[in-house]
Amino acid sequence: MYAMTTVLYPGTFNPIHNGHTDLVERASKMFGKLVLGIATSPHKSPSILELRINLAREALSHVENVEVIGFNTLTVDFAHEIGATIILKGIRTMADFEYEFQMLNMNRSLRPGMETIFLAPSEEYSYISSTLVRQIAGYGGDVSKFVHPTIAKALANGDIS
């Protein structure tokens, strides 16, 4: 365990699902502090980011050493800003690995010394993606086994699209 180490788990988390929560729970046992960084883009409404932050905080409220923060900068700059020396990425497929490996090398180039670690989700969550969850919910499907109840409600109400 890296008791004094802060790790950044960045992503859009639109929405956060049980696969994300699984990684947070497991990684939080390895590091002193885990920051779930919710990225947005300049063309998105700030209220959408605030909603994703609040939903993630609710879904992760049972994990003590986790903080949820929104950001709109380069991931390596945000990691440096919060004192993280490691970036955590979830990997489900080889395609995920290829993309994230390219990002790892770009991040090293931008901020030497920044490390990236990969965790695979537990088998029962390996097929879940935020895109699929949104699509199922968009057609009125039941997503309750994929997301926290608060998020399932937000999806059913059309708060997340």
109 is known as an active-site residue? no
80 is known as an active-site residue? no
92 is known as an active-site residue? yes
**Are residues 88 and 27 in contact, defined by beta-carbon separation less than 8 angstroms?**
yes
Among residues 26, 44, 111, 134, the one annotated as catalytic is 44
Nearest Cα to Cα of residue 2 among 35, 27, 36, 37: 27
Among residues 17, 20, 52, 89, the one annotated as catalytic is 20
**Are residues 161 and 134 in contact, defined by beta-carbon separation less than 8 angstroms?**
yes
What is the CA angle 110-20-142, rounded to 5? 140
47 is known as an active-site residue? no
Among residues 26, 57, 92, 134, the one annotated as catalytic is 92
- Residues known to be catalytic: 20, 44, 92, 130
